[in-house]
Amino acid sequence: MRSHINAKTIVIATAIAAASLATSNAFAWSAAKIIAKAVAEVKNANSTTVAATGTVEVAFSPDEGAENLVIKVINSAHSSIHMLAYSFTSAPVTQALLDAKHRGVDVKLVADYENNLEVDRNGKFKSPKAVAALSALATAGVDVRTIKVYPIHHDKVILADQQSVELGSFNYSDAAAHRNSENVLVNWNNPALAKVYEGHFERNYARSQVFVNPRY
Protein backbone atom coordinates (compact mmCIF):
# COMPACT_ATOMS: atom_id res chain seq x y z
CA MET A 1 0.00 0.00 0.00
CA ARG A 2 1.27 3.45 -0.91
CA SER A 3 0.08 6.95 -0.04
CA HIS A 4 -1.16 9.46 -2.58
CA ILE A 5 -1.39 12.14 0.14
CA ASN A 6 1.41 14.58 0.77
CA ALA A 7 1.06 15.11 4.51
CA LYS A 8 3.14 18.29 4.59
CA THR A 9 1.06 19.81 1.80
CA ILE A 10 -2.15 19.04 3.65
CA VAL A 11 -0.92 20.50 6.90
CA ILE A 12 0.44 23.66 5.27
CA ALA A 13 -2.67 24.21 3.17
CA THR A 14 -5.03 23.68 6.04
CA ALA A 15 -2.96 25.88 8.33
CA ILE A 16 -3.23 28.72 5.81
CA ALA A 17 -6.95 28.16 5.46
CA ALA A 18 -7.36 27.98 9.20
CA ALA A 19 -5.40 31.16 9.75
CA SER A 20 -7.57 32.98 7.25
CA LEU A 21 -10.77 31.73 8.80
CA ALA A 22 -9.60 32.36 12.34
CA THR A 23 -9.28 36.10 11.71
CA SER A 24 -12.95 36.20 12.51
CA ASN A 25 -14.23 34.56 15.68
CA ALA A 26 -17.32 33.59 13.76
CA PHE A 27 -15.24 31.20 11.68
CA ALA A 28 -13.02 29.79 14.44
CA TRP A 29 -15.15 26.68 14.76
CA SER A 30 -14.91 26.04 10.98
CA ALA A 31 -11.14 26.42 11.15
CA ALA A 32 -10.96 23.85 13.92
CA LYS A 33 -13.00 21.40 11.80
CA ILE A 34 -10.68 21.89 8.83
CA ILE A 35 -7.61 21.19 10.97
CA ALA A 36 -9.21 18.13 12.57
CA LYS A 37 -10.10 16.74 9.15
CA ALA A 38 -6.57 17.31 7.83
CA VAL A 39 -5.03 15.58 10.86
CA ALA A 40 -7.37 12.62 10.37
CA GLU A 41 -6.37 12.35 6.70
CA VAL A 42 -2.68 12.38 7.62
CA LYS A 43 -3.22 9.65 10.20
CA ASN A 44 -5.07 7.54 7.64
CA ALA A 45 -2.41 7.96 4.98
CA ASN A 46 -1.07 4.59 3.84
CA SER A 47 2.59 3.72 4.13
CA THR A 48 4.66 0.57 4.08
CA THR A 49 7.00 -0.73 6.75
CA VAL A 50 9.85 -3.00 5.66
CA ALA A 51 12.26 -4.75 7.98
CA ALA A 52 15.80 -3.40 7.94
CA THR A 53 18.14 -5.86 6.30
CA GLY A 54 21.05 -5.98 3.91
CA THR A 55 23.68 -3.25 3.73
CA VAL A 56 23.22 0.47 3.24
CA GLU A 57 25.74 2.43 1.17
CA VAL A 58 25.63 6.19 0.58
CA ALA A 59 27.46 8.78 -1.49
CA PHE A 60 27.10 12.45 -2.32
CA SER A 61 27.84 15.08 -4.92
CA PRO A 62 29.25 17.18 -6.41
CA ASP A 63 32.11 14.79 -7.14
CA GLU A 64 31.81 12.79 -3.92
CA GLY A 65 31.00 9.39 -5.39
CA ALA A 66 27.27 9.70 -6.10
CA GLU A 67 27.49 8.95 -9.81
CA ASN A 68 29.97 6.13 -9.23
CA LEU A 69 27.59 4.51 -6.75
CA VAL A 70 24.73 4.70 -9.26
CA ILE A 71 26.92 3.01 -11.86
CA LYS A 72 28.00 0.41 -9.30
CA VAL A 73 24.34 -0.55 -8.82
CA ILE A 74 23.80 -0.85 -12.58
CA ASN A 75 26.97 -2.91 -12.97
CA SER A 76 25.87 -5.25 -10.17
CA ALA A 77 22.76 -6.40 -12.04
CA HIS A 78 22.70 -9.88 -13.55
CA SER A 79 19.05 -10.28 -14.59
CA SER A 80 17.07 -7.04 -14.41
CA ILE A 81 17.24 -3.27 -14.00
CA HIS A 82 14.05 -1.32 -13.51
CA MET A 83 14.63 2.41 -13.42
CA LEU A 84 12.53 5.52 -12.78
CA ALA A 85 13.99 8.89 -13.77
CA TYR A 86 13.20 12.58 -13.93
CA SER A 87 16.17 14.09 -15.75
CA PHE A 88 18.13 11.63 -17.88
CA THR A 89 21.17 13.08 -19.63
CA SER A 90 24.15 11.33 -18.02
CA ALA A 91 26.53 9.79 -20.54
CA PRO A 92 28.22 7.51 -17.95
CA VAL A 93 24.87 6.21 -16.68
CA THR A 94 23.66 5.70 -20.25
CA GLN A 95 26.82 3.73 -21.06
CA ALA A 96 26.41 1.59 -17.94
CA LEU A 97 22.85 0.73 -18.99
CA LEU A 98 24.02 -0.10 -22.51
CA ASP A 99 26.70 -2.38 -21.05
CA ALA A 100 24.06 -4.07 -18.91
CA LYS A 101 21.83 -4.63 -21.92
CA HIS A 102 24.77 -6.09 -23.87
CA ARG A 103 25.48 -8.61 -21.13
CA GLY A 104 21.86 -9.83 -21.21
CA VAL A 105 20.23 -7.81 -18.43
CA ASP A 106 16.56 -6.92 -18.92
CA VAL A 107 16.63 -3.10 -18.72
CA LYS A 108 13.47 -1.03 -18.38
CA LEU A 109 13.44 2.75 -17.98
CA VAL A 110 10.54 5.13 -17.33
CA ALA A 111 11.51 8.80 -17.66
CA ASP A 112 9.64 12.06 -17.31
CA TYR A 113 8.36 13.18 -20.71
CA GLU A 114 8.33 16.95 -20.35
CA ASN A 115 11.73 17.35 -18.73
CA ASN A 116 13.45 15.21 -21.35
CA LEU A 117 11.50 15.69 -24.57
CA GLU A 118 9.95 19.15 -24.34
CA VAL A 119 10.58 21.52 -27.27
CA ASP A 120 10.88 25.29 -27.23
CA ARG A 121 8.94 27.80 -29.31
CA ASN A 122 11.22 27.19 -32.24
CA GLY A 123 10.57 23.47 -32.19
CA LYS A 124 14.02 22.65 -30.83
CA PHE A 125 14.55 20.22 -27.97
CA LYS A 126 15.30 21.92 -24.67
CA SER A 127 17.38 18.91 -23.67
CA PRO A 128 19.08 17.41 -26.73
CA LYS A 129 21.32 15.37 -24.42
CA ALA A 130 18.25 13.61 -23.03
CA VAL A 131 16.95 12.87 -26.52
CA ALA A 132 20.35 11.44 -27.48
CA ALA A 133 20.62 9.32 -24.33
CA LEU A 134 17.12 7.88 -24.56
CA SER A 135 17.52 7.26 -28.29
CA ALA A 136 20.78 5.40 -27.75
CA LEU A 137 19.14 3.11 -25.21
CA ALA A 138 16.08 2.48 -27.36
CA THR A 139 18.24 1.71 -30.39
CA ALA A 140 20.12 -0.88 -28.33
CA GLY A 141 16.85 -2.62 -27.44
CA VAL A 142 16.30 -1.18 -23.97
CA ASP A 143 12.62 -0.87 -23.03
CA VAL A 144 12.49 2.94 -22.82
CA ARG A 145 9.24 4.65 -21.90
CA THR A 146 8.18 8.18 -21.03
CA ILE A 147 5.44 9.32 -18.69
CA LYS A 148 3.39 12.52 -18.61
CA VAL A 149 0.32 11.71 -16.49
CA TYR A 150 1.84 13.57 -13.53
CA PRO A 151 2.85 17.25 -13.37
CA ILE A 152 6.35 15.95 -12.60
CA HIS A 153 7.59 12.37 -12.64
CA HIS A 154 10.22 13.09 -9.99
CA ASP A 155 11.30 9.57 -9.07
CA LYS A 156 14.99 8.65 -9.11
CA VAL A 157 15.08 4.91 -8.44
CA ILE A 158 16.98 1.88 -9.69
CA LEU A 159 15.97 -1.69 -8.82
CA ALA A 160 18.70 -4.25 -9.47
CA ASP A 161 17.73 -7.92 -9.78
CA GLN A 162 14.67 -7.24 -7.56
CA GLN A 163 17.09 -7.35 -4.66
CA SER A 164 18.73 -3.94 -4.24
CA VAL A 165 17.30 -0.42 -4.34
CA GLU A 166 19.02 2.84 -5.27
CA LEU A 167 17.27 6.08 -4.43
CA GLY A 168 17.90 9.65 -3.32
CA SER A 169 17.89 13.14 -4.80
CA PHE A 170 20.40 12.31 -7.54
CA ASN A 171 19.13 12.99 -11.05
CA TYR A 172 20.87 11.01 -13.76
CA SER A 173 22.62 14.06 -15.18
CA ASP A 174 26.00 15.72 -15.43
CA ALA A 175 24.82 18.57 -13.22
CA ALA A 176 23.82 16.17 -10.46
CA ALA A 177 27.21 14.49 -10.61
CA HIS A 178 29.48 17.51 -10.80
CA ARG A 179 27.64 20.69 -9.77
CA ASN A 180 24.65 20.09 -7.53
CA SER A 181 24.50 18.98 -3.91
CA GLU A 182 22.88 15.53 -4.15
CA ASN A 183 22.70 12.23 -2.31
CA VAL A 184 22.46 8.58 -3.29
CA LEU A 185 21.43 5.77 -0.96
CA VAL A 186 21.57 2.09 -1.84
CA ASN A 187 20.01 -0.66 0.22
CA TRP A 188 21.81 -3.76 -0.99
CA ASN A 189 20.12 -7.15 -0.68
CA ASN A 190 16.73 -6.14 0.68
CA PRO A 191 14.23 -7.98 -1.54
CA ALA A 192 11.26 -6.92 0.60
CA LEU A 193 12.07 -3.26 0.00
CA ALA A 194 12.71 -3.97 -3.68
CA LYS A 195 9.27 -5.59 -3.91
CA VAL A 196 7.61 -2.45 -2.57
CA TYR A 197 9.43 -0.27 -5.08
CA GLU A 198 8.71 -2.78 -7.83
CA GLY A 199 5.01 -2.16 -7.24
CA HIS A 200 5.60 1.57 -7.61
CA PHE A 201 7.61 0.96 -10.78
CA GLU A 202 4.90 -1.24 -12.28
CA ARG A 203 2.25 1.41 -11.57
CA ASN A 204 4.21 4.09 -13.43
CA TYR A 205 5.27 1.70 -16.19
CA ALA A 206 1.60 0.93 -16.86
CA ARG A 207 0.87 4.66 -17.15
CA SER A 208 3.78 5.37 -19.48
CA GLN A 209 4.17 5.27 -23.25
CA VAL A 210 6.77 3.64 -25.46
CA PHE A 211 9.53 6.09 -26.32
CA VAL A 212 9.67 6.92 -30.01
CA ASN A 213 12.77 8.66 -31.28
CA PRO A 214 11.43 12.17 -32.05
CA ARG A 215 14.20 12.81 -34.55
CA TYR A 216 12.64 10.43 -37.07
Output the CA torsion sign for 16, 47, 76, 85: negative
Catalytic-residue membership of 82: no
Cis peptide before 92 (omega within 30 of 0): no
Catalytic-residue membership of 102: no
End-to-end CA distance of the chain: 41
Select from 46, 101, 110 the least CA-distant residue to 74: 101
Choice among 129, 154, 195, 200 that is catalytic: 154
Residue 121 CB coordination number (10 Å): 5
What lies within 8 Å, CB to CB, of 39 at 6+ separation is none
Catalytic-residue membership of 161: yes
Catalytic residue list: 154, 156, 161
